[in-house]
Amino acid sequence: MNSSFVILVGLAELAGLAGMGLTITWMIKYLGGFGWDGFAKQFNVHPLMMTVGMIFINGNALMLYRVTLSLNLPRIIVKFCHLGLQLLAAGCGSIGLAAVFGYHKNIGASDLYSFHSWVGLTTFIMFGIQLLFGFLFFILFFFLLPRSENLRGRFLPIHVFFGKMILILATITTCMGIQEKAMFAMADKYKDIPVQALIAHAAGISFTIFTFIVMYIMSNDSYKAQSRRDGYHLQANST
């Protein structure tokens, strides 16, 4: 395996883990920890589950083809692992959304009042549609309509494009959510740049670095060529 590829994947994982670690630190040390109490603890489940699912697991699902196919794993197994990771991401995202909608209901707050929530819900719906179409084209059609190779081949670039865009949108949503929560949580102290703000900003920057590296890996032709050499074809008959 190409050594710069291994280093980049390692750096992406470090950035993603740092983002989650910083989010957990922020929630536990400053915002009361996690729980399902209808109040602050339940809200805190939202940022954690959304970032674990929509950024970390989703980003790893995108990189999976390049990571595992260069290890010569059979494509069908990788395809099911990709689906499994995306289902896990959808599960985490659903828990994260249930946490924040439940919290809003419990405290009597309006739903969907912020720009963050609009972009976030749109991103989540796009993720759901992407999952559904991916399942239809690459699993159902693959098994039930084996002669649909051309159709699957033509859909693949669309699937890849939306996959990348959804990860970028999830990262933008997260940065907006962090900003919004930081303003709520620190109110008039925010302008003094307290440690809590530094932790929150560092979490956003870590997730941004994670996505930046994942996008670089996904757009670098030499990593694609490496994967292709070992059996990864963006051709109709392998999709």
State the nearest-atom distance from the C-beta of 167 to ligand HEM, in Å: 9
Q: Give the containing element (helix H, strand E) for 76.
A: helix 75-107
Instruction: Based on the shown chain and the rule CB under 6 A, indicate whether residue 197 belongs to the binding site for ligand HEM.
Output: no
Q: Is 18 in the site for ligand HEM (CB under 6 A)?
A: no
Give least dist CB 175 to ligand HEM, A.
8
Q: How far apart are CA 125 and CA 142, in angstroms?
A: 24
Comparing CB distances to ligand HEM, the nearer of 59 and 120 is 120
Which of 34, 124, 138, 155 binds ligand HEM (CB under 6 A)? It is: 124
- What does each C-alpha distance from 67 to 159, 164, 179 come to in angstroms? 18, 16, 33
Residue 36: CB partners within 8 Å, gap ≥ 6? 42, 45, 99
Question: What is the Cα–Cα distance from 133 to 118, expressed in whole angstroms?
Answer: 23
Binding residues for ligand HEM restricted to 38-57, rule: CB under 6 A = 46-47, 50-51, 54
For ligand HEM, which is the closer residue by CB, 48 or 67?
A: 48
Binding to ligand HEM by CB under 6 A, coded x per residue (else -) over 94-113, reads ---x--xx--x------xxx
Q: Does 181 bind ligand HEM (CB under 6 A)?
A: yes
Question: Least distance in Å: CB of 111 to ligand HEM?
Answer: 3
How many amino acids of this chain bind ligand HEM (CB under 6 A)?
A: 27
Residues in contact with ligand HEM by CB under 6 A are: 46-47, 50-51, 54, 97, 100-101, 104, 111-114, 116-117, 120-121, 123-124, 170, 173-174, 177-178, 180-181, 184
